[in-house]
A and B are shown apart, each in its own frame.
Chain A
Amino acid sequence: MQNDNDYALIIGIEEYKEMAKLNGPVNDAKDFLEWACNETGGNIPEANCFLIQASKDPYKPLQDDIDTGLETIIGDGSKGYRRLYFFFAGHGYGVAWDTNGLCLPGWTSLRRRNALSSKAYLDYVVESKFFTEVYFFLDCCRDRMINASALTPSLGAILPAGQNVTSLVLFAADFSSKAYEDPELDPNTKVQGYFTKALLQGLRGAAADKNGNITADGLTDFTKRRTSELAALRQKTQTVRPLFSGMGTMSQLIIKEGINVEPTSVTITFISEGLVNLIGRDLNVIWEKQISKDEISPIFTLDKGLYILENTTTGNNITIKIDGTSKHKEYEF
């Protein structure tokens, strides 16, 4: 059964009048849309998912197009509402620690406020009190730009409220810092923002806890850790910044449940001999063997978690981290 009361407003902008062209936002937006509509993902009816089309001639969307999207989602206010996912990938800048400018294609150094204020849009959605859960996922830079603030929505709550509404904002980067997209390294990979890549890996199951639940806490934790790892592979630093508000705690907010996290198969090639232990999450010894050089281990099937491989003869050890993002991993030790 689909989540008929859930909605998604998805924006991916690559072409800007004055800013450098990006290569990942459209892929990111489509990937998020795929997750949102997928039965194993957000399970939202297609009619409830709004992908805002971007174009170059004329430069679109305008703020009005976004506001119209929101207006359409809300309709006459009589529908059933539970969740709103607001996804943005494109250029952005930090306005304040809790506010980002989400640049519209017509942004120029003169029209330097031609950007949506993430906070003002969040405030509107929360205060209008249609939804009980609101998620803003913002894959854009947060470095600061001189004299640039951002625009508030033209929609306004009739009677601003907001109690009983829970919101989670995940900024792709720390305030004052940049967010990056992974370059296309081979024809089989598509360009994506590190943040979106990590976020969707998390939403697709890697952020699930041992009970198969993805909580706001777990998703934030995973996305933060994974984004940082993906960026570090390309010598970049990127720290996801969460902003949570509302009922209960982040660990109580369950975004998705009943996920079956598949274990990862691991093989190890030993480059030095000695007595080797594979130690599990609770310090239990999973495997112990006197190995010789160039020996290859059996295939271990490991659940999500931390493991230590230690050679008690040489005193060397490595950490094996299984986070649910790969089906198979190989190590040299």
Chain B
Amino acid sequence: MEPQNTKNMSSETNWKLRITVTGPMADFAFITLYNGYLETVYTGYGSFEANFPTGLYKMILNINDAKVEQMIKLSNNQNISVQTPQGISSSLADGFRNTHKYYSEPARKFSNNPTASFEKQNENKTTNSSLFIFFRYASSENFIARNLDKESLGKNFKLLDKNRKLICELAGNYIVEDSNETGWLAFNAFLKPNNYYLYYSGSKINKSDPSREIPVRICEQWQTQVYMTFSNEPLFYSLLITLKKPDINFDSNYSESLYDIEGILQKFVNGIYFLPNSILRKLSYGKWENPMLGILAAHSYYKSGQKDNDNLFNTVVENLGGILGQNIPDIQVLIMMRDNHSGIVSSEISISEPCMLLTGMKTAILNSSKITSSTQIIAPFSIADKITENLYPDMAWTSYKPITQIRAKSNTIVNETKSIDLNPFKENKISDLLPGQTSLSEFNYGLSSNPKKMLDNIFGSKKQKEGFDIAKEISGFQIQPESKLKNTTAARKPSVLNSWVANSVLNIINDQNQEELNITDLASRLEITPTGITKTIKTIIDQEDKISMYINNKDKSAENVAFNKQNINKLKDLL
């Protein structure tokens, strides 16, 4: 697996050059050695030893953006030791430039001490699963310079359960924090094994910091740890999710697993699917401090397309299923990737909840557009299905523009003493409910402009049974000023015109005039599920009159030019 390459090494006078890389993530350091003629004579990861002729050489060691350069005058055998440049990580493992005692000590303390209580820990500790979240700045100086108002790091964050019901905000008595001097926040709670969602309502000031939701899996007997660094806003690309046994401390083995995870992740996001031999050895021993290492390594291996270690990774996937549960989404997509790796499109697997790694979701979406049988790789109308159109590609973890509703928790967090009409269909009131929530008229998910109908589709007869309970569901988009809400007329822009899926579908049809397009082609082309394409097309057809009325009312506009009758008729033929 280690791409190494040496050239021009057969000269008559050769000297042994040994370069030993030390420090965190040493195995992930990429070395390039140039000779005096500026020819590359060696490339590879980590320490190496090779023979080269007498001459001048230049060694460059890269770990992501950090690099170390050294000139070498080779006229005898030489041993050179190079320390890796200090990298950064949210994980708080020793050896990173941004690991500080004032963060690592509270992190260690509160990873072992719950800050909130929702589930009682089983007396015999059989349900010892928990979620630990630790947010912090890169340094206390950074916190003081950038967070002038000393705002809580939990501001705008909420934790949702598997049904996306609100469990709590990351605030008040649910968390412990230092928002005065160093800037950190810890949350720790026992939770039943399941999928949970970390919801971020987005910055109201910075438009490039939109709302976002991140699925987090809690597994039986494991603590899921979520680390993230902040600057002015949360730096989502710094997110790190790991798994730790509750009784294991932050010892050197655990730190080492964090180096490995950071190493794989940082290569992974750059499409470099590299696994050093040291990690392969750890996986083959089968004793892992951290199953996330196994998950990431398997993703990396299958994405690399390598074949040398198929047996090892078959075992890794089996073992992970045994450790974390065969049916969790992350294991299901790994099975799918393993099958794909062997040239098989999995037809027996169906996920309804998103997995934690984006490559897993992409694999599921890709498989869903290849399956021709009635099996649905991604269950229609499930959370996993709804997010496929809104995945964010800016980090290795799955995250997406939040799907429309957050369900208020049953013993309601919403302030019921307010005189608010909770009916979501009365859009002029709903924005009073929760920060970051708004009117369904702003709903631009590209499915339906009729929220009532949409809720019917999603919840069906349940709504009928539970009467008004469902009306407590709250939409999840940005606040619309009251004045704008009042300015609504019959010619209001149909929401489907704001859907990128609808725009893309019609523009493909309009620009290329392809006669033989079908739903699967479109799904594959737009990288969403066929169900998503079908829903969008149905919505466009449902709203044809409104679209026509809206566009006819506009004087002359290139905007939405593809939404014409001819193209919409072509859509009808696709269904």
Name A residues whose Cβ lies closer than 8 Å to a Cβ of B.
62-64, 94-98, 110-114, 144-149, 151-152, 154, 174-176, 209-210, 217-218, 221-222, 237, 241, 251, 279-283, 304-308, 319, 321, 323
Contact = CB atoms under 8 A, between A and B. Distances in A.
Interface in B500-514: 500, 503-504, 507-508, 511-512, 514
B58 interface: yes
Contact of A149 (B54, B56, B57, B527): B527
B270 to A, nearest CB: 5
A210 B500 contact: no
B36 interface: yes
A306 B38 contact: yes
Nearest to A154: B512
Nearest to B37: A305
Contacts of A251: 7
A304 B38 contact: yes
Contacts of B36: 280-282, 305-307
B39 interface: yes
Contacts of A149: 526-527
Interface stretch (B220-228, B387-395, B418-426): B387-395
Contacts of A304: 37-38
B519 to A, nearest CB: 16
Given A110-B498, A112-B500, A154-B514, A281 B55 contact: yes
Given A97-B271, A151-B508, A308-B73, A321 B54 contact: no
B507 A111 contact: yes
B270 A113 contact: no
A283 B507 CA distance: 63
Task: State the 10 A-B residue pairs at the shortest beta-carbon distance, nearest first.
Answer: A97-B271, A281-B36, A306-B36, A144-B393, A144-B394, A306-B56, A175-B270, A305-B37, A282-B55, A305-B36
Nearest to A207: B38
Given A113-B526, A308-B71, A319-B58, A174 B504 contact: no
Interface of B: 7, 34-40, 54-58, 65, 71, 73-75, 210, 269-272, 389-394, 401, 498, 500, 503-504, 507-508, 511-512, 514, 525-527
Contacts of A281: 35-37, 55-56
A151 B56 contact: no
B37 A217 contact: no
A281 B219 CA distance: 59
A184 to B, nearest CB: 27
A31 B399 CA distance: 41
Contacts, number: 110
Contacts of B34: 306
A235 to B, nearest CB: 13
B270 A176 contact: yes
Nearest to B43: A221
Nearest to B212: A146
A152 B163 CA distance: 37
Nearest to A224: B32
B500 A110 contact: yes
27 contacts: A64-B511, A110-B498, A111-B500, A113-B526, A145-B393, A147-B389, A147-B391, A151-B525, A152-B525, A154-B512, A176-B394, A210-B37, A221-B38, A279-B73, A281-B36, A281-B55, A281-B56, A282-B36, A282-B54, A282-B55, A282-B56, A283-B56, A304-B37, A306-B35, A306-B38, A306-B58, A319-B58
A208 B507 CA distance: 45
Contacts of B393: 94-95, 144-148
B504 A111 contact: yes
A209 to B, nearest CB: 7
Contacts of B40: 217, 221
A174 B526 CA distance: 24
Contact of B39 (A151, A209, A319): A209
A307 B56 contact: yes
Given A144-B394, A282-B36, A306-B38, A175 B271 contact: yes
Nearest to A59: B558
B99 to A, nearest CB: 23
Nearest to A94: B393
A283 B54 contact: yes
Contacts of B389: 147
B55 A283 contact: yes
Contacts of B35: 281, 306
B497 to A, nearest CB: 9
A255 to B, nearest CB: 16
A237 B64 CA distance: 11
Contacts of A145: 393
Contact of B271 (A64, A98, A146, A283): A98
Nearest to B303: A97
A314 to B, nearest CB: 17
Contacts of A110: 498, 500, 503
A146 B73 contact: no
B163 to A, nearest CB: 25
Nearest to B512: A154
Nearest to B508: A151
Given A149-B527, A307-B56, A321 B511 contact: no
A175 B64 CA distance: 11
Nearest to A97: B271
A306 B38 CA distance: 7
B408 to A, nearest CB: 27
B390 A147 contact: yes
A127 B527 CA distance: 21
A95 B421 CA distance: 43
Contacts of B508: 151
B73 A96 contact: no
B37 A147 contact: no
Nearest to A317: B71
B60 to A, nearest CB: 9
Contacts of B71: 306, 308, 319
Contacts of A323: 38
B500 A308 contact: no
B351 to A, nearest CB: 20
Contacts of A96: 271
Nearest to B75: A283
B261 to A, nearest CB: 18
Nearest to B210: A146
Contacts of A148: 393
A142 to B, nearest CB: 10
B524 to A, nearest CB: 9
A147 B38 contact: no
B295 to A, nearest CB: 19
B335 to A, nearest CB: 22
